[in-house]
């Protein structure tokens, strides 16, 4: 493609040796078309591609870069850790400090175990819930993505939504038979599932705010209702905060919802921000449940690089940098960007719906208020693709799918906002022309 020759050359090489040329499907630009941009560097709110073009980044590595790219404190922490050696496969202080920081911030987390991805976190939390309760069924919601865990890929969001797959090939019927998929935000459906399978459901897993079909916040009382229904049956509530954790607020989405409404999940999962751009995930919760993990208990879970000193140094420096002022900045910036986008689309006559969950937001190309996956899929992905490419041409990097959240960082300053604002009218016109 003429406008990105260096990226195209890299993509051609990649296609020869990597399936689809990418190591995670949404990166391939399949749903928006065109050449995926190969990034070579980033500073603050900006990233630069192989052709030397600079973009204001509204992806932020899908969440981890909450302080912006190459933040000096995070780099310094990583440099120090690197100088001491890369991995020992023994316990180390960094992992203890990161665990302490998580426990300090999120009240329902009394004990936490570190892993290397969000997928590992949800997979392990589900195993633990089954091991703890002695039950096998799990409830998940359509449009919620919990990583590429076999059992949780049914009607999942993110890449599964982007590519309009019902679920994934290679997942056996025996695996999905234990999973009940329900519409998001529908407590009656949850009650009905528990009525149909009393004493059989180990856990309900939900994104604390759904953000993998675009951002769909829980309706008031939804998460509290889940806690009530699960607990009445002796099941566990797992809130997946891989996306929202330490981003939606200081204590994640739970800090905006559970802390206010007085409900608690039994287990929670994290990722992204707690690694600051390096591979870290975590799951934690009630101490009595976590005590079922090996070596204290019978539920096995392990990892060669779990608690890796470099990764935990990046995560800890990132979390420590996320002060109340930073959250206020993220909140204001997310609000401003979302409102600018919605206003530009409205001005051009493009149906749009801005939705937020704390500092996470996305814009649906539909005028329906989106409360579940079916409604999310009413949007015009073609209008989004036209919008996306116009923004890209004008130096703004959006998620290359209509079904993903948009991310701002602490480093998004007035200059970054001006660049976004300047790009919007043409992009809105491009969307209107579809
Ligand atoms: N849960 C949620 C809510 C996520 O958003 C994601 C990734 N976007 C995951 C789990 C999986 O995390 P990872 O990609 O690190 O495996």
Is 397 catalytic? The answer is: no
Q: Which pLDDT does position 3 carry in this prediction?
A: 83
67 pLDDT exceeds 90? yes
Q: Residue 371 to residues 162, 163, 218, 374: CA-CA distances in angstroms?
A: 18, 20, 8, 9
In whole angstroms, what is the distance from residue 404 CA to residue 215 CA?
7
pLDDT tens column, 197-244:
999 999 999 999 999 999 999 999 999 999 999 999 999 999 999 999
pLDDT tens column, 347-395:
999 999 999 998 999 999 999 999 999 999 999 999 999 999 999 999 9
160 pLDDT exceeds 90? no
232 C-alpha vs ligand 1 centroid, how far in Å? 29
pLDDT tens column, 319-333:
999 999 999 999 999
Q: Which pLDDT does position 176 carry in this prediction?
A: 86
Q: Which pLDDT does position 92 carry in this prediction?
A: 97
* Kind of pairing between the strands at 396-397 and 267-270: unpaired
252 C-alpha vs ligand 1 centroid, how far in Å? 15
Mean pLDDT, residues 242-266 taken together: 95
Task: Considering the candidates 55, 57, 140, 145, report the single residue annotated as catalytic.
Answer: 145
Closest CA to 62 of 412, 408, 423, 416: 408
Average of per-residue pLDDT values in the chain: 96
Is 240 catalytic? The answer is: yes
Task: Give percent of the chain above pLDDT 90.
Answer: 93
Task: Considering the candidates 55, 137, 233, 272, report the single residue annotated as catalytic.
Answer: 272
Rounded to 5°, angle at Cα 429 from 407 and 160: 45
Where residue 321 falls (left for φ over 0; alpha for ψ -120 to 50; beta otherwise) is alpha
The pocket around ligand 1, CB under 6 angstroms, is made up of: 62, 117-119, 122, 145-147, 158, 207, 212, 240, 242-243, 271, 281
Instruction: Check if CATH label 1.20.1440.120 holds for domain 72-321.
Output: no
pLDDT tens column, 178-187:
999 999 999 9
Q: Which pLDDT does position 167 carry in this prediction?
A: 77
Q: Which atom of ligand 1 is nearest to the CA of 120?
A: 16
1 pLDDT exceeds 60? no
282 C-alpha vs ligand 1 centroid, how far in Å? 11
Contact between residue 186 and residue 218 where contact means Cβ atoms under 8 Å apart: no
Q: Which atom of ligand 1 is nearest to the CA of 272?
A: 15
ipTM of the complex: 0.99
Q: Topology of domain 5-66+323-432, per CATH?
A: 3.90.1150
Torsion 314-285-262-270 (CA) sign: positive
Parse the chain into domains and list their residue ranges. Answer: 5-66+323-432, 72-321
Is 49 catalytic? The answer is: no
In whole angstroms, what is the distance from residue 258 CA to residue 238 CA?
13
Confidence category of residue 164, pLDDT binned at 50, 70, 90 = low
Beta bridge partners of 237: 204
Q: Which pLDDT does position 320 carry in this prediction?
A: 97
């Amino acid at each position: 493609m003429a406008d990105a020759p260096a990226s195209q050359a890299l993509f051609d090489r990649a296609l020869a040796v990597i399936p689809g040329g990418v190591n995670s499907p949404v990166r391939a630009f399949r749903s928006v078309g065109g050449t995926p941009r190969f990034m070579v560097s980033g500073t603050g709110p900006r990233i630069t591609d192989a052709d030397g073009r600079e973009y204001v980044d509204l992806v932020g590595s899908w969440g981890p870069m909450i302080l912006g790219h190459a933040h000096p404190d995070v780099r310094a922490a990583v440099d120090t850790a690197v100088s001491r050696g890369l991995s020992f496969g023994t316990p180390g202080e960094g992992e203890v400090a990161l665990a302490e920081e998580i426990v300090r911030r999120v009240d329902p987390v009394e004990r936490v175990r570190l892993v290397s991805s969000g997928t590992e976190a949800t997979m392990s939390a589900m195993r633990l819930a089954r091991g703890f309760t002695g039950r096998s069924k799990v409830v998940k919601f359509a449009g919620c993505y919990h990583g590429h865990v076999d059992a949780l890929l049914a009607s999942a969001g993110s890449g599964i939504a982007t590519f309009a797959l019902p679920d994934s090939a290679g997942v056996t019927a025996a695996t999905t038979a234990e999973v009940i998929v329900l519409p998001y935000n529908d407590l009656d459906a949850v009650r009905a599932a528990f009525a149909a399978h009393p004493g059989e459901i180990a856990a309900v897993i939900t994104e604390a705010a759904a953000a993998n079909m675009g951002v769909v916040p829980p309706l008031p009382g939804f998460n509290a209702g889940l806690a009530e229904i699960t607990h009445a049956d002796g099941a566990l509530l797992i809130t997946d905060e891989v996306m929202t954790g330490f981003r939606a607020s200081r204590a994640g989405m739970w800090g905006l919802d559970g802390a206010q409404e007085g409900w608690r999940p039994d287990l929670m999962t994290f990722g992204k921000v707690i690694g600051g751009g390096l591979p870290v995930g975590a799951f934690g919760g009630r101490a009595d449940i976590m005590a079922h993990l090996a070596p204290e208990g019978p539920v096995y879970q392990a990892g060669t690089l779990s608690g890796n000193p470099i990764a935990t140094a990046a995560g800890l420096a990132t979390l420590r940098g996320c002060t109340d002022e930073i959250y206020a900045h993220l909140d204001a910036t997310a609000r401003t960007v979302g409102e600018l986008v919605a206003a530009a689309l409205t001005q051009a006559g493009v149906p749009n719906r801005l939705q937020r969950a704390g500092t996470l937001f996305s814009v649906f190309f539909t005028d329906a208020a989106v409360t579940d996956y079916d409604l999310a899929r009413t949007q015009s992905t073609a209008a989004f693709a036209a919008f996306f490419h116009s923004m890209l041409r004008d130096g703004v990097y959006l998620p290359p799918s209509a079904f993903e959240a948009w991310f701002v960082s602490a480093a998004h300053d007035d200059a970054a906002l001006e660049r976004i604002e300047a790009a919007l009218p043409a992009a809105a016109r491009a969307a209107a022309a579809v």
